[in-house]
Amino acid sequence: MLRISEMLVLVALVSCVASTGKVNKHKPWIETSYHGVITENTDVVLLDPPLVALDKDAPIPYAGEICAFQIHDPEAPFEAVVLNGTSGEGQLRARGLVDCELQKEYTFIIQAHDCGAGPGGSGGKKSHKAAVHIQVNDVNEFAPVFRDAQYRAAVTEGKIYDSILQVEATDQDCSPQYSQICNYQITSSHTPFAIDRNGNIRNTEKLSYDSVQQYEIQVTAWDCGQKRAAHSVPVHINVKPVCKPGWQGWNKRVDYEPGTGSKQLFPKMHLETCGGPLSSVRATVELQTSHIGKGCDRETYSEKSLQKLCGASSGSTDLLPAPSASTNWTASLVTDSGRDSDLIFRFDGRQAAKVPDSVVPQNLTGQFTIATWMKHGPSPGLRAEKETLLCNSDKTEMNRHHYSLYVHNCRLVFLLRRDFTQVDTFRPAEFHWRLEQICDKEWHYYVINVAFPVVTLYVDGVTYDPYLVTDDWPIHPSEIDVQLTVGACWQGGEVTKPRFTQYFRGSLSGLTIRPGKIESQKVISCLQACKEGLDINSLESLGQGIKFHFNPAQSILVMEGEDLENMNVALRKVSYINSRQFPTPGIRRLHISTSVQCFGEDTCLSIPDLEAVVMVLQPSEPRFTIGGVERLSRPASDFRAPPGLSLFRDLHIVSTVTRAGDAAARHTARRQGVLEEIIHNLDYCDILVLGEELRPDQESLTLQRSSLLGKHLDTTNSTSGMSIYGVDSMSNYEQVIQQVRYHNWRPALLTERRFRLTCSELNGRYTSNEFNLEISVLHSSPAVGHVNHLVAPPQFMQVHHPAMVHSMYPSHNSGLPSAATVVIVMCIAVLVVVVVFGIYRIHLTHQQEVNVCDKAKETDMGWDDSALTITVNPMENLEEPQGAEEEEEASEEDEEEDEDEEEDDDITSAESDDSEDEKDVQLPRMHQPSKRSQKEWDHRQ
C-alpha cells in the first residue's frame, strides 16, 4: 500500500513538472513601432498606436500577464509603466520636463515582459523589440527679439526708396509656428515711412532736408503665434541734402524790437550754386507792408499837425475832418478808424457829403493844391461811370462843373473850368492820367499842383505829367451859387429833383485844398513818407562791383553783382528799420527773388524764391502825466491886470514806460516792471472850460503869438476853450501852456472857474490824464466893527486854521504843555499846599484857591483872542504910516478881546479841544509884555 502511494506521488510530481513546462509557452506581443507626441513642459506621451502588450498564455496567471516594459536607451528621458498587467495596457511618461528648444525628437527601443511561470517571475518571456519615435511639441513661450539694439540708415532727400534698410527679429521657440516672424509694424505715428512683412523699411513720400534732417521711428515684431516683441527697436534715418541751388542760412522770422534802429535780416545767409560757374547774380528784396495803415507805417498825426511838421504852407482846408459839432458834414459818412487812429472814410457808391459854404475856400486863383489819400480798385460793370472824389458844381438851375477830381476807367481826371472874368479864350480844361496805382487796391498819396495852365500830379512823391489834356471854353458868369461835395457830384439843375450823382467807390483820407500856393516836392515827400523800410548797413563796406537800387518808399531793394561772395556779403547787410518811436506792431512779409546767369547762357540755375516775415513787437506804451497846482486863489486885481492870470505856471508833463523783463532789458540792467522816464512828442493839448462857456464880453483865454515862435505849434481859441496843436516836444508844449493866461474884466461877478487840460500823442492813440484846475477870486469885505475871520477873511490876506498852522510848523508845539495842563498842575499844587498847612488855615487856603482859579480864568480868556493866526499876504503893498497901522491893530485887538470874552461861555467841548490845539501854537507868546508886542512878534514870524 505504501508502495502504491509513493508511486502515485511520483507520478503526480512528474505530471506537475510536465504541466509546468507547458504553461508559459508564448512571448508577449507588441506593435513593431510607435509614434508619440509630447508637449514641452508636460510628462505624458501620446502614442500611436497605444502601448498595449498581448500574451497568448492568457488567462493563465503570470504567464498570460504583462509585468513590465523595458526601454533600451538609458539616456532617453522617458519611462514605460504598466497600467494593467492583465490587459497589457501601458503608458510612456517623461521622467522630467522636456524642452523642445533642447531636443525636438527622441527614438528608442522598447520591449514587453510577461510575469513568467509564477510569482517569482521565473521563466518570463520578452516580446520582440519595437521602435518608438517621439516628437516634442513646442509652446510659444518666447517673444521676438531684434538682432540689433538700434538701426541706422541715411537717405538723400527728394527720392522714393523701395527699401531703405531691413530690420530683423528672431524667436527662440523651436517650432516654425512660434519661431517665425510673421509681421513687423512701425509704432511711431505720422511718419513718412512704411515696413513690409520682411522688415524692409521704405519712405512713402519725398523727404526734405530743410524740413527734417533726421527721423527716429520705433519698430516692433510679431511671431506667427501673435506674440509681440517685448521691446521696440529705434530706427534712425538721416536725410542728406542734395546739392540744389538756393539761399541757405536764413531765418523765416525776424523779431524787431521798437526803438532799436536798424536790424540785419539775413546775417548768415549765403547762396548755394553747387559749384557752377556764374557770370552775375541779381537779387530783389521786397518788404510787403500794404496791410499796415495807409500802405506802410507812417506817422498817424492829424493832417494839420503833419503839415505843420513838414513845413507846409498854412491856410489849407480839411474837407474830410473827424465828425464833431463844428464839422458835422462828415457825420453821415462811413468811417474806418484803421490802425493807430488813422481817420479813413469808405465810400460804397451811396454816400456823399456837402461841404458847408463857410468852409469852402472862395479864393481859388491860378495856384492851388489838392491832396488826398486814395485806395481804389476796378468796379466790374461800372467802367463807363465816373467816380467823383471832389466836385464843385452849380447848386441850382444849371449843371455846370467848375472843378472836379474823378476816376473814369482807371484814369484820374482833373477838371478845371475857368470863368470869363479870369480868361476868355479856349484854354486847357481836363487833365488825364493813366496809372496802375489808380486801380491796384492799394493806398497812394495823390497831390495835384495847379499853376494854371500847368497841372502836375504827384503819386507817392513821384511826378507824373498828364498823357492827355483837352481844352474847353470858360464858364459864363452867373449869379448861381455853387456847391462843393465829396464822394459824388451835386446835380442841382436840369433834373426834376436835385440829387447826388457819379458816386465814388473806394476809400479816402486827408482830403485838403490849399488856395493861393502850390506845395514843393520836399513837403509832398515828407507828408507821404514811410517810416519803415529796407536799409543797408555801412554802404561803404559793400564789395566791389555791387550795384543796388531802392524804390522811393524803400520797400524794394535790387542788388546785382558778378562775384558770388561779394553778393553774399551785400545781402547780409540788408536790414529793416522803423524810425517811429511807437511803430504799428505786427507782421511785415519779405519776398526775395533771385536770377542767376552763367557764362554764355541767359539763365543756368533756378533759385527758388524765399518768403520770410519781420515781426514788429508791441512797443512799450507810454503813460504821460500832467501835474501842477490844481487850485488857485488870487485877488481880483490879478484878473483885471493887463497880463492876466497865468493858469499853468507850475505845469509839468512827464511820460514813463514800463520795461518788460526780456533779454534786452536784462542786458541793460533793467528789471521787469521798472518805470522809465522817456521823452517823446505830443500832437495836441486841449484846455477845456468846464461848466458855463466863457463870456466874451468879460473874460477870455489868451496866448501871445510870440510864445509860438520857433516851434511847430499853432492854436485855436473859442468860448469853450483853447487847443494847442502841432507835433512838437513835451518841453515846448510845457513852455507854451505855461504862457496861457486868463483875463476877466469883471472879477466881482466871478466866484470860480474850472478848466480841464488833456494832451495827446499820435492823434489820440495815447492820451494823458485829465488835469483839472480851479481858480477863485479873493473878494474884499466892507468895513465893520468886528469881522469874523473864520467867515470872511480880509482882502489880500489868508487865514490859516490853527490845525493847518500846526501841520505847517510842527516845531512850535514840541515840548510845550497845553493851557489846560498848566491849569490842572496849578490846581494840584494849591491842593497840596492846603493839605500841608492843615485845617486851621482852611479859610486862608480857600481864599488863595479862589484867587488862583480867577487868575487861571483870566489867563484862559487872554489866550482865546489868539485862537486865529493872521498871516499878512506878502503881495499886499501897505501904504499907511506905521503908527496908524499899530493904532488900528490895537483897536482891532481890543474889539476881538471883548468879543471873545462874550463868547467864552458858549464854548463847546469840541471848541475847547480846538482851543487847546490853538494854545499849543500860541504858548511862545505867553511871556510877551503886551498884546501890542505880541502882534509885532507875529509879524516878524
> How sure is the predictor about 913, in pLDDT bands with cuts at 50, 70 and 90?
very low
CA distance 158 to 706: 75
Identify the pLDDT of residue 254.
94
Residue 153 has pLDDT above 50, yes or no: yes
pLDDT of residue 200: 95
- CA 628 – CA 150 distance, rounded (Å): 77
Answer whether residue 370 shows pLDDT above 90: yes
Cis bond upstream, residue 49 (ω within 30): yes
Return mean pLDDT, the chain.
Answer: 78
- Cα 296 from Cα 305, distance rounded (Å): 19
- Spatial separation of the C-alpha atoms in residues 530 and 445, rounded to whole Å: 11
3-state secondary structure 520-557: CHHHHHHHHCCCEEEEECCHHHCCCCCEEEECCCCCEE
Q: How confident is the model at residue 874, as a pLDDT? A: 41
**Checking DSSP bridges between strand 253-256 and strand 610-616, what pairing results, if any?**
parallel
- The cell numbers describing 615, all together, are 515781426
User: How many whole angstroms separate alpha carbon 888 and alpha carbon 880?
Assistant: 11
**What pTM was estimated for this model as a whole?**
0.55
- 512-521: pLDDT as tens digits: 999 888 888 8
Mean pLDDT of 238-256: 89
Q: Which of these ranges, 38-42, 451-455, 722-726, 782-786, has the smallest mean pLDDT? A: 782-786
Residue-level pLDDT at 541:
72
pLDDT in tens, 584-618: 899 999 999 999 888 766 657 788 999 999 999 98
Residue 486 C-alpha cell reads as 465829396
Given the DSSP bridges, would you call strands 246-248 and 89-94 parallel, antiparallel or unpaired? unpaired
Closest CA to 246 of 157, 354, 118, 360: 157
> For the residues 329-335, what does the mean pLDDT come to?
89
- 909 or 699, which is more confident? 699
Alpha-carbon span 181 to 145, nearest angstrom:
10
For residues 907 and 867, what is the distance between their CA atoms, to the nearest angstrom? 13
Which single residue is written with the C-alpha cell 473850368? Answer: 417
H helix count then E strand count, the chain:
14, 59
Q: DSSP assignment, residue 169?
A: E
Residue 278's pLDDT band, with cuts at 50, 70 and 90, is confident
**Strand ranges inside 13-172, DSSP E:** 33-39, 46-48, 66-71, 78-84, 89-94, 105-114, 130-137, 145-146, 151-156, 165-166, 169-170
